[in-house]
């Protein structure tokens, strides 16, 4: 059985790779495929970097993925009223 694990990279190495990716103008996945890096490993590293409060650069030009966690959502309060009054029940 051959060992096909990717080499271990430090967070500093990942920060350099993420920065290079985000400045390339390619999508994250396209850049990862061109570099022979698993997109799941790439995003795992991005997550670890964010947990360490590292400033991750935004992609240049195009959005790389749909990231629903990076923006606050507006909360809209609605009043829910029964169609019939409690007295009619």
Does 71 or 25 have the greater pLDDT score? 25
- On the question of pLDDT at 62 being above 60, the answer is no
At 86 the pLDDT is 62
At 63 the pLDDT is 53
CA neighbor of 46 nearest in space, from 71, 29, 61, 34: 29
76-85 mean pLDDT: 75
């Amino acid at each position: 059985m051959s060992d096909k694990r990717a080499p271990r990279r430090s967070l500093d190495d990942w920060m350099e790779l993420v920065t290079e990716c985000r400045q390339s103008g390619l999508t994250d996945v396209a850049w990862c495929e061109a570099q022979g890096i698993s997109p799941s490993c790439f995003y795992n590293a991005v997550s670890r970097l964010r947990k360490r409060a590292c400033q991750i650069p935004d992609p240049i030009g195009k959005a790389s993925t749909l990231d629903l966690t990076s923006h606050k959502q507006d909360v809209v309060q609605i009043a829910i009223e029964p169609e019939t009054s409690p007295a009619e029940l």
